[in-house]
Structure 1
Amino acid sequence: MKNFLKTLSILLLCGFIGITASAQIKTYNVKNYGAIADGETNNTVAIQKAIDEASANGGGRVIVPAGRFVTGVIDLKSNVELHLDKNAFLLGSAIRADYGAGKASALIVANNQHHIAITGHGVIDGQGHDLLKDIYRRLNAGTLQDTEWRKPNPWHQMRPTEDNRPKLIEFKNCDAIQIKSITIKNGLCWTQNYKSCSNLVIDSIKVENVTYWNNDGIDIVDCKNVKLTNSFFNADDDGICLKSEDPNSACENVYVANCRVRSSASAIKLGTGSQGGFKKITIRHISVYDTYRSAIAVETVDGGVLEDIDIRDVVATNTGNAIVIRLGHRNQKRPAGVLRRVYIGNVKVDVPAGKPDAGYAMEGPVTGAAHNIIPSSVTGIPGSRVEDVTLENITINYAGGAKKEVADFGIDTLEKVPEKIPDYPEFSMFGELPAWGFYIRHADGIKIKNMVLTCKGDDYRPAFIADDVKGLSLDTLNIPQVKTKPVILLNKVSELVLKNIKIPGSAKQNIQVQ
């Protein structure tokens, strides 16, 4: 990984030397092309003219100075850096028609370009609240078509389809990209989408995107050689999300570090889209808070290969779930995928009794069936098993307080846990689970080293359940509070290694093997 990052840095430095590092770079101030900073005038033509001229001249820096510049869709070109000065606001148009007649374009787009950048200490503001008013006005007038907005959904809202809600940044098939120091906020869909791109560096950005649902903080889709560091994400949907939409590609050589995340979905997520897969993903030093779903979600359900994942140093407070690892089979047109060689270490998560994102403007939807606190989980499916997962130095503190009258799940028949083979992957997908701390099923080669599971309140369920697991090693599993017995239930587990299990009381009573 160190060699990869060094090489990537050198390549980007060389590639951008002409537009970001040289004292001789040519600048193109959008005001000189007619842009007006009054917060009302549409400056699309002026800004695009500056970009086009810079690109035609071999590259340069297009400067958006301090002020409020409204724009429609702008197309970033090769060898051009879009630079937002301090106190510069690039405001997305609040008129739906400015994003195209069919599917809404993103605000800033680039296709098949190279050596492009968005830098500076300014703000890209999608003006989502005002744009949404215009969308509803047109829908009610019948001048805008939408197939989804009147359909029932978990949010109980008339929600326009994503095709009518523009992203803020969308780059496709681009190479050598820098996104640095900017603030991005108030979109109506994914904040930024980088699809099939290579050599992408994102550093020190701030994302505030809680205007509406589906507002992922960042989506990295089938990209190669990515470095995302020192950034903040407050998103209504997933915070930092890697996806794979091309069966012949994958997210590969991705490094994420030193980021802080708040989400009404999951903080760090690989999936749900998982056509090709995820390979050589490294994640370090992530802080998570007030997050509704999982701190870490690692999922492949569309036939993709997920392998060589290394996640370390994650601290999450007030978060609904610590870790979910899921191999499913949602895409029935292809064989189930592969999930193997995953390491997760140095993780601490505090799971509350209530809804962690309660009070935020756009909360995540309440799950359908009533359930108690849901444990972390590693689950495959019959015939397609999770392989080679190591969980080391993991502490998960649960609030507890489970009640049988909310949802009762006895341990006499573990077969009651539904398989949900084609379902959308989520920590709550099975409903009530028979364990309060950790649940593992249909997996091979699971190593747990130095795991602590605590539960403040009462819980009638065992702390830890493994069902249909081949090759399970529990080395220093510490469960200091005994809520019920057995504390550990092992069903259909072979090649079992138990070492230094720390549970108060008799091991014979606390550990049940069947």
Structure 2
Amino acid sequence: MNKLKSIILLFVLFCFLNGSAKDYNASIFGIKSNGTTLNTTAIQKAIDYIHEEGGGHLNFYVGRYLTGTIELKSDVQIILHEGAILVGSTNIYDYNIEMPNTALVYAKNADNISITGLGVIDGQGRDVAYSLIDQVHKGIIQDELKYDRPARRRPKGIYLRECKNVEISGITIKNTAEWVQMYDQCENLKIDKITVDSKAFWNNDGLDIVDCKNVLVTNSFIDSSDDAICFKSHDATKMCENVEVRNCVARSSASGIKFGTVTRGGYKNFKIINNKVYDTYRSAITIATPDGGEIENILVDSLNAYNTGNAVYLRIGQRNTQNGTGSMNNITIQNLYAEIPATKPDEGYEYEGPIEDLPRNISPASIVGLPGYDISNVTLRNIEIVYPGGSNPKYAYCGTKPADLDGIPEMAEKYPEFSQFKELPAWGFYVRHVKNLTFENVKLTAKDSEYRPAIVFDDVKGANLSGMQYSIPGKLKKLIKYKSTGIILK
């Protein structure tokens, strides 16, 4: 609570300081709103001037402001008023493409910065990506075109690195060529009431928080063709910590809310409260550490998920062992409701998630560590997950005999994904290599009969199950315990 109060006080101070900042209209710097004049130099001159004058607001009013990469500097606040659209150039050379993370709006080591208002940032990402691909095919730019898409140089919408006291609020960000926004090693970051609508190209993560401290994300809507709200840790000496996400809605052709995939340092002290995920191809909530990072003290409370491919996936992996094997401890997921469809949740979207990890029937929620690296102290409280049921053993089959369970591969080095094991032996929960587990008031429903049991425990060391409820047509097989000890049923 004290940490949250500190964050709020910082933002109050930030807003107070901004209240006396000087206002500048974009037009006085020769910035044109006709949508055709390239304003990169003019906008940058305006930012530089305001920065040198001690700070202030750069106001954009109704119009379309065409630009390439602009660099935001300390004490400069961009205000996009309603009707103002910052439009990304479709010429790839108008961006800082030689930098590791090119973007339309960029900043490094800048303090007291913001982008606010009711305006729009439109990256025109599909045309930008095609411009880049054209240069690659002509041999002018070298790129491996992995999966027929450029691996580098696609500009993000916003990329801020090592910035402090940052506010992004009110705006709409859409149609970027790569990740929509990335905040990397920033401190005191507030994101509120933003809208993300970005399905213009592949890898359109809606929001990436990387190794940041003191972050508040609230009241936002994110619709993206890759992970909607995503936390990452790229630096083994850093971690994401003291983060709260509240009252947000997410849709994705990948995961709704995701920790990972890159997890070198880790995550600590998170609150994910009162959020909604819908029409999402992968998991509503994924927490994974495949690269050696530490995950500790994560609370997910009041998450509602509709038409999503999976409800919960917790995973320790060993994709990258340079930093050792990661850990996951003190995870609480409570007041969760999820509906899993029999069909593909993102079917019909322009950029659907790939058909992969087949054959398999509908996958269960899963908590999967590794031998010798247990996921520990996990509490699932007041959980309801509704599955379609109807699994067909003739299509894909996994039994519960010792040979069947031992035959499920560990897949330590693989990309962590709920479907990676293909067919699993449970329809509700599959739990493996876990220590100190609590199931309290968990209800599992299958609309059609199932050949698999509801829950399979494999190498679970201590579990307390109380208030369990099952609903399924026909004969119910509840819980299979294999190589597990200390299982208490109430």
TM norm. shorter chain > 0.5: yes
Deviation at 1:415, TM superposition (A): 0.8
Structure 2 Cα separation of the partners of residues 218 and 194 of structure 1: 8
2:93 counterpart of 1:97: yes
User: Quick one: which of 34, 55, 63 aligns to 1:38?
Assistant: 34
2:459 counterpart of 1:468: yes
- Superposed, 1:6-405 pairs within 5 Å as 6-19=5-18, 21-22=19-20, 25-103=21-99, 105-147=102-144, 149=145, 151=146, 153=147, 158-161=148-151, 163-405=152-394
Structure 2 Cα separation of the partners of residues 410 and 9 of structure 1: 52
Structure 1 Cα separation of the partners of residues 16 and 50 of structure 2: 15
Deviation at 1:482, TM superposition (A): 5.5
Deviation at 1:129, TM superposition (A): 2.2
For the 8 Å contact 2:383–2:441, the answer to whether it is kept is yes
Deviation at 1:101, TM superposition (A): 4.8
Structure 1 Cα separation of the partners of residues 119 and 367 of structure 2: 42
Deviation at 1:483, TM superposition (A): 4.9
- Residues 400-444 of structure 1 show CA distances to partners (whole Å, capped at 9, x for unaligned) of 121122211111120111100111111111111011110000010
Q: Which moved more, 1:409-418 or 1:178-187?
A: 409-418
Give the TM-score of the pair, scaled to structure 1: 0.93
Equivalent residue letter for 2:143: D
For the 8 Å contact 2:448–2:473, the answer to whether it is kept is no
Q: Which moved more, 1:351-360 or 1:475-484?
A: 475-484
- Residues 119-158 of structure 1 show CA distances to partners (whole Å, capped at 9, x for unaligned) of 00000000112212322322222222211x1x5x4xxxx2
For the 8 Å contact 2:357–2:419, the answer to whether it is kept is no
Secondary structure of 1:404's counterpart equals coil
Q: Which moved more, 1:306-315 or 1:479-488?
A: 479-488
2:421 counterpart of 1:430: yes
Deviation at 1:164, TM superposition (A): 2.4
- Residues 154-174 of structure 1 show CA distances to partners (whole Å, capped at 9, x for unaligned) of xxxx2121x121111000111
% of aligned pairs identical? 45
For the 8 Å contact 1:462–1:484, the answer to whether it is kept is no
Deviation at 1:457, TM superposition (A): 1.7
Q: Point out where structure 1 has 5 or more consecutive residues left out of the alignment.
A: 500-514
2:487 counterpart of 1:487: no
For the 8 Å contact 1:461–1:484, the answer to whether it is kept is no
Tell me which stretches of 4 or more aligned residues in structure 1 moved more than 6 Å.
none
Equivalent residue letter for 2:310: N
Secondary structure of 2:420's counterpart equals coil
Structure 2 Cα separation of the partners of residues 101 and 170 of structure 1: 13
Q: Which moved more, 1:342-351 or 1:452-461?
A: 452-461
Measured at CA, do residues 483 and 142 of structure 1 come closer, stay the same or move farther in structure 2, by a change above 3 Å?
farther
Structure 1 Cα separation of the partners of residues 208 and 352 of structure 2: 20
Q: Point out where structure 2 has 5 or more consecutive residues left out of the alignment.
A: none
Secondary structure of 1:358's counterpart equals coil
Secondary structure of 1:248's counterpart equals coil
Equivalent residue letter for 2:477: P
Equivalent residues, number: 487
For the 8 Å contact 1:317–1:351, the answer to whether it is kept is yes
Structure 2 Cα separation of the partners of residues 45 and 333 of structure 1: 43
Measured at CA, do residues 78 and 483 of structure 1 come closer, stay the same or move farther in structure 2, by a change above 3 Å?
farther
For the 8 Å contact 2:236–2:323, the answer to whether it is kept is no
- Residues 335-379 of structure 1 show CA distances to partners (whole Å, capped at 9, x for unaligned) of 211100000000000000010000011101111421100000001
For the 8 Å contact 2:449–2:473, the answer to whether it is kept is no
Secondary structure of 2:414's counterpart equals coil
Structure 2 Cα separation of the partners of residues 424 and 53 of structure 1: 47
For the 8 Å contact 1:18–1:60, the answer to whether it is kept is no
Deviation at 1:200, TM superposition (A): 0.4
For the 8 Å contact 2:287–2:313, the answer to whether it is kept is yes
Equivalent residue letter for 1:17: F
For the 8 Å contact 1:462–1:483, the answer to whether it is kept is no
- Residues 452-508 of structure 1 show CA distances to partners (whole Å, capped at 9, x for unaligned) of 111112221111100110001111111122655532111111111101xxxxxxxxx
- Residues 246-279 of structure 1 show CA distances to partners (whole Å, capped at 9, x for unaligned) of 1111101001000000001111111111111100
Q: Which moved more, 1:408-417 or 1:110-119?
A: 408-417
Match of 2:445 in 1: 454
The root-mean-square deviation of aligned C-alpha atoms, in Å, is: 1.2
Structure 2 Cα separation of the partners of residues 464 and 365 of structure 1: 27
For the 8 Å contact 2:125–2:178, the answer to whether it is kept is no
For the 8 Å contact 1:65–1:86, the answer to whether it is kept is yes
Structure 1 Cα separation of the partners of residues 107 and 97 of structure 2: 19
Secondary structure of 2:483's counterpart equals strand
- Residues 213-234 of structure 1 show CA distances to partners (whole Å, capped at 9, x for unaligned) of 1111100000000000000000
